[in-house]
Amino acid sequence: MERVLLKIHGKVQGVFFRATTRNEASKLGLCGSVKNTHDGCVEVIAEGKRESLETLIKWCNEGPSLARVDQVEIFWEKASGNLSSFQITH
Answer yes or no: is pLDDT of 56 > 90. Answer: yes
Q: Is residue 88 part of a domain?
A: no
Residue 70, judged by CB atoms within 10 A of its CB (0-12, 13-18, 19+), counts as: exposed
Is 18 labeled as catalytic in the residue annotation? yes
Residue 87: closest CA among 47, 50, 39: 47
Q: Which residues contact 6 (CB under 8 A, 6 or more apart)?
A: 43, 44, 45, 46, 57, 60, 72, 73, 74, 75
At residue 90, the pLDDT reads 84
Query: Would you place residue 59 in the very low, low, confident or very high pLDDT band (cuts 50, 70, 90)?
Result: very high
Domain that holds residue 26: 2-81
At residue 36, the pLDDT reads 98
CATH code, domain with 30: 3.30.70.100
pTM exceeding 0.75 = yes
Q: Is residue 28 part of a domain?
A: yes
Quote the percentage of the chain above a pLDDT of 90. 97
Is 22 labeled as catalytic in the residue annotation? no
Task: Count how many domains the chain has.
Answer: 1
Catalytic choice (3, 18, 61, 82)? 18
User: Coil, strand or helix: which one is 64?
Assistant: coil
Please give the mean pLDDT across all residues of the chain: 97
User: Coil, strand or helix: which one is 28?
Assistant: coil
